[in-house]
Amino acid sequence: MWFLALKHIFTRKSQTLLTFAAIVMGSGGFIVFSAMQLGFKEYMISNLIERDGHIRISPRNETISEENVKGLFYEDSKVKWLNTPTGRRSNANLTSAVKWFAKLESMDEVKNYAPIASETFIVTKGNFSKSVSLTGIDPEKHRNATNLFEYVVEGDLNEVTNGLSLVFAGKRFLEDFGLKKDDTVIVASSDGSLFPMRIIGTFDTGDFRTDGQTLFTSISTVQKMIGKPGYINKIIVKIDDVSKAAETATRWQSASVDDVESWDQANENFLSMTKTQDTVRDVTTITFIVVVAFGIYNILNMVVNHKQKEIAILRSIGYTENDTVFLFLIQGALIGIAGVAAGEAIAFFFCKYLETLKIPMGRGHMRISWDIMIYLKSFVLVFGSALVASYFPARSAGKLSPIEIIKGTS
C-alpha cells in the first residue's frame, strides 16, 4: 500500500508539486502572518506592562457634584445651589506614600515597587518651547519594577542621584532642541523659577511622546525644585502574577482613597482593539486555509480522474473500497507532512530575515513572535485541511467499480 502510494506521488510529478506548493504556501503564509501580528501585539502589551508596571497607584481625581460636597461648609445643613457645583478635584500627591511602602513590602504577591515624583515644567529654546514631565525616580527600585534601563542609549541612569541638577533625556527631546549629552537645558516651573539641568544620558523607547516629553532625574531633585519634601505622586508595582493585576488592583482600591489601577484596566480600549485584530487574523487565516484546501481538493480530484484505469486494476485484483480510500489518503498525508515541514522551515527563516528589517518603531526593527503554538496551529490546520481535502477525492475513487471505469473509458 505504501509502495503504491509513493509510486502514484512520483508518477504524477506536476500534480504532486502543485499540491506540495499549495501546502507550503498555506503553512508558511499562516506562520509569517501570525508571527508578525502577534509580534506587534506582544511588543505593545510588553511595553504597557513593563514600562509602567503591573499596577499603578496615583492620587485620586474626583468629579465634583452636590453629593460629595454635602456638609462641606455646614454640617447637616440644607444648601440650595444657585449654580450646581461641577468640575474635577485633583489631589497633588498620595495620601500617605510611607504607608503604601510598608503595605507593599509586607505583601508576598508584590515582587517590586518604585516610587515616582513627577511635575510639569517648560523647556524653551529660542521661539520653541515644550511642556515636559520631569520624572523623579529611585534608579535601583525603578530597574526592578520596569524595563526603562533596557532603553538607555548613552550614559548611566544610576548617576541621576549623584547631584540635584542631572537629567536623562529622550532621543526625540534632544533632536527637538538640538542638544546632546553633557549639554545644559533650562527648565522653568509654573511660578517662573528657572533651573539649569545637565543632560548626562539619553534613552530611546520608540514612543515619541515619552521620548520627546519626559526627563528623568532623582526624586530628591524634583522634591527640591517644587519645594515639597517627601512628595510622591505615583507608585509603580510589579506583582508575581500579571494575569491577576486587575483583581489585585480592585482589592487594593476598595481599601484606599488613592487611585489604584492595573495595566489592563488603564488600557481597556487598546486591549479591545487587539481583540478585534485577533478576530480579523482568525477570519483571514481560516479563509486562507479554506482556499488552500480547495486547491488541494481540485488537484487530487484530477489525480483520481487520471488514474481511473489504475484504480480499476486494483479493484479487480481484490482491493476493497476502504483500501482504495486509504491509498489516496496516504498520498494526501505524505504530501501534507512534507509540505507543512517545508512551509514551516521556510517561514522560520523568513521570519528570521523579517526580524532584521529596520522600522521606525520600538527598538528599530520588526517584532516577530516565536510562540511555538503558531507552528503547532499551522501543522494542525494545514495538515488537517490537506487530509480533509484528500478524503473526498479518495472516497470518490473508492466508489468506482472496474465495470463503471471500463464503460466510462470505452
Q: What is the largest CA-CA distance in the chain?
A: 108
31, three cell numbers = 506562520
Classify strands 214-218 and 128-137 as parallel, antiparallel or unpaired.
parallel
Residue 387 lies in a domain: yes
Please count the other Cβ atoms lying within 10 Å of the Cβ belonging to residue 70: 13
Same-domain pairing of 334 and 362: yes
Say if residue 401 is in the same domain as residue 286: yes
Would you tell me how many other CB atoms lie within 10 Å of the CB of residue 395? 15
Tell me: do 288 and 403 sit in the same domain. yes
- Answer yes or no: do 304 and 348 share one domain: yes
Which parts of the chain sit beneath pLDDT 50? 410
Q: Return the pLDDT at 90.
A: 56
- Predicted local confidence at residue 203, as pLDDT: 92
How many CA atoms within 13 Å lie on the side-chain side of 230? 7
Residue 335's pLDDT is 81
DSSP 8-state symbol, 382:
I
Q: Are residues 322 and 386 in the same domain?
A: yes
| CA separation for the pair 57, 338 (Å, rounded) | 54
Same domain for 404 and 276, yes or no, is yes
Contact 153, 202 (CB under 8 A): yes
Quick one: 224 and 318 in the same domain? no
Taking a C-beta distance cutoff of 8 angstroms, is the pair 47, 406 a contact?
no
CA 368, CA 37: separation in Å to the nearest integer? 8
Instruction: Report the interhelical angle of 321-354 vs 384-399 (nearest 10°).
Output: 160
332 with 224, same domain? no
Rounded CA separation 164/161 (Å)? 7
Grid coordinates given for 403 = 465495470
Final residue in a domain of this structure, among 218, 239, 260: 239
Same domain, yes or no: 279 and 403 = yes
Contact 158, 142 (CB under 8 A): no
How many helices (H) and strands (E) would you count in the chain? 15, 12
SS3 for 200-235 is EEEECCCCHHHHHHEEEEEHHHHHHHHCCCCCCCEE
Task: Show the CA angle centred on residue 111, arms to residues 109 and 114, nearest 5°.
Answer: 125
Number of domains in the chain: 3
Is the Cβ–Cβ distance between 14 and 334 less than 8 Å? no
Confirm whether 102 is domain-assigned.
Answer: no
- Distance, in Å, from the CA atom of 78 to the CA atom of 67, rounded to the nearest integer, reads 12
**Does residue 153 sit in the same domain as residue 192?**
yes
pTM: 0.66
CA angle 240, 150, 223 (to 5 degrees): 80
In this structure, the answer to whether residues 42 and 70 fall within a common structural domain is no
Does 210 lie in the same domain as 297? no
Last residue of a domain, one of 224, 239, 254: 239
What is the span of the domain harbouring residue 16? 2-48+270-409
* Domain presence at residue 164: yes
- Specify which residues 124 forms β-bridges with: 129
Does 41 map to a domain? yes
Residue 49 sits at the vertex; the CA angle it makes with 46 and 54, to the nearest 5 degrees, is: 155
Nearest alpha carbon to residue 182 among 204, 167, 203: 167
Set of cell numbers at residue 221:
531633585
Residue 260 lies in a domain: no
